[in-house]
Amino acid sequence: MSQSVRCQLCFMPLDDLSLNSRELHYETHFKGELQEASSSGLSSRPYGVLKPSPPTKQSGSFKAPPSPVRKKKWKSSLNWSEEGRDVFWYPSLQTPPPPNFTPGMIPLLKKALTKSHAKGTTRRAVLCYDRAIHVNRQNWDLTWGCGYRNFLMTCAALMDQQSQPMYFALLDGPISPGIRNLQRWIEVAWKDGFDKEGYEQLKKLVNTSKWIGTSDLCTAFVYRGIPTELIDIDLDDRGIAPLTDWIVQYFDGYRKASTSGATNINNALTGASPVRCTSLMPIIVQNNGHSRTVVGYELTKNSTVNLLVFDPSRVPSKQIRRAALSAFKSSSDPDSTTSDPPIKRRDSPLATSSKSNASSASNKRIKTGTGAGHHAASAKEENVEDDAAWVDEDDDDDVRPITVGDNEDDDEIVFVSETKASGPKKSTFSWKKGQEGEDPLFIDVLKFFRWENNRVKQKNKYQILYFPLTEPLTILDRMDRKVLRSERI
């Protein structure tokens, strides 16, 4: 029996359509928005939104071509509902993470790189703040959610770090982070005169499925008083060295902080370690059509630099997620033996979304009601002390989307059907046994996080959003940054 052919965007059956009708079906997804984007012309704004958004369900612009033969009504087996899924979680919360939030990835990656160093493949590696988390997209934001998920990853790290504790209050209220809440953040900033060029491009964000870029994220963070900087890199014919060199220099910045004070045994041991975690925040790197959160870099024995990324379009396997959750739970347990003191946990009052008009003044509190953009504390009620709560729980969806490949324009969307009896039918990971004595998880962890050079070369324009972890912005600082500026390299 032949496999059914379905549209990779709306998953409508295409078996009864001719090739020309199938092409027309795909064109209807993008035609209206592409024409609108092309008519707007070039912009002097930092790279920002580099790819137009597909039409949303609310717009009513999508009409599927009539099928020549109607057999029976088709119903998708996927759960596309947004209800209950637009949540936010950060490591200091005492509730287990939602199914698409995975803490403990940095300690797991560090362990894999250490094994790679022992085998002679990795010369050295530097990683970001070790409590950074991975957040992957879900069915409901599958085709447009990468920028929002990168935002959630950086917010989780910024709210958990201890270098600038004032960041927590700036990000947590009056509206806490979330996908729909980020859209509200940006629209409120527009109303207060921030990033007028971004407003002209997007017009409306709340309750839409529009792509956003690093420029839009910069607007949201600056409006909240979080210092952020934009870097534009046009590689032209220079190869990828300008991009990788800048990122290596950023993550090597920990050396300045560690050597600025008195030298002690801890600093000496840190410098001697081939794989190091730092207190630096992860950074967001965007190219045309996709963005990723860069969490460090790896220098191989051949002097090649591999960027290490949290890609929101990639779903970690059950084995990787379970290993990461175990590493996180161990590091968070006050009774565990660790060189670092346990981090004090902070609970936040639930800050939810509001459908009422938001105030345009930055110093006024915005009314909050019940909505979807709340902390994950309300999504999970299990006790963190219960080991069962830390076992990987499947999402409500029967089929999980996984993106294969790194080029967003050419990615293949693969769906993994799972049952408790049969397990996954298809996976992005080939869990084959390696050579004798070799740990297959160590190999697949590195494959999952490496953004290798042959994939980076496919695009020639990149924009970086990074966080210098300086004092929060004053009101005057914020007003001075209403117009976005970037450093070009």
User: Where are the chain's structural domains?
Assistant: 101-360+368-488
Q: Are strands 229-234 and 122-127 parallel, antiparallel or unpaired?
A: unpaired
- Chain centroid to CA 51: how far? 17
pLDDT value of position 4? 65
Give residue for tokens 């899924």.
Answer: 85
Q: Kindly give the pairing relationship between strand 122-127 and strand 275-277.
A: parallel
**Is the pLDDT score of 206 beyond 80?**
yes
Among 131-135, 154-158, 159-163, 441-445, the minimum mean pLDDT is found in 441-445
Identify whether 165 is preceded by a cis peptide bond (ω within 30 of 0): no
Cβ atoms of 79 and 138 within 8 Å: the answer is no
Beta strands in 72-111 (DSSP E): 101-102
Percent above pLDDT 70 for the chain: 58
Please give the backbone phi and psi of residue 278, each rounded to the nearest 5 degrees, phi first.
-120, 180
Angle between helices 105-118 and 440-449 (to 10 degrees): 110
Query: What was the pLDDT predicted at 456?
Result: 82
d(CA 167, CA 274): 31
Q: Kindly state the DSSP code that residue 345 receives in the 8-state scheme.
A: P
Reply yes or no on whether the pLDDT at 148 is more than 80: yes
Instruction: Please give the pLDDT value at position 82.
Output: 80
Q: Is the pLDDT of residue 354 over 70?
A: no
d(CA 415, CA 484): 39
Tell me the pLDDT band of 273, cut-offs 50, 70 and 90. confident
pTM (two decimals): 0.68
Checking if the pLDDT of 63 tops 60, the result is no
Whether 400 shows a pLDDT value over 70: the answer reads no
Which two structure tokens, joined as six digits, stand for 269? 């041991």
Query: Do β-strands 399-404 and 412-417 pair in parallel, antiparallel, or remain unpaired?
Result: antiparallel
In this predicted structure, the answer to whether residue 41 has a pLDDT above a threshold of 50 is no
Please state the rounded mean pLDDT for residues 345-362.
35
**Contact yes or no for 53/144 (Cβ under 8 A):** yes
Residue 372 CA to residue 87 CA, distance in Å, equals: 7
- CATH number, domain 101-360+368-488: 3.90.70.130
Residue 270 pLDDT > 60: no
Task: Pick the more confident residue, 356 or 23.
Answer: 23
Distance CA 276, CA 298 (A): 11
Q: How confident is the model at residue 387 (pLDDT cuts 50, 70, 90)?
A: very low
Q: Report the distance separating Cα 273 and Cα 113, nearest Å.
A: 12
* pLDDT of 177 over the 90 cut: yes
Round the average pLDDT of the chain to a whole number and report it.
Answer: 73
Distances (CA, A) of 71 to 16, 25, 65: 9, 19, 16
Cα–Cα distance measured from residue 468 to residue 233, given in angstroms and rounded to the nearest whole number: 18
Mean pLDDT computed over 380-409: 38
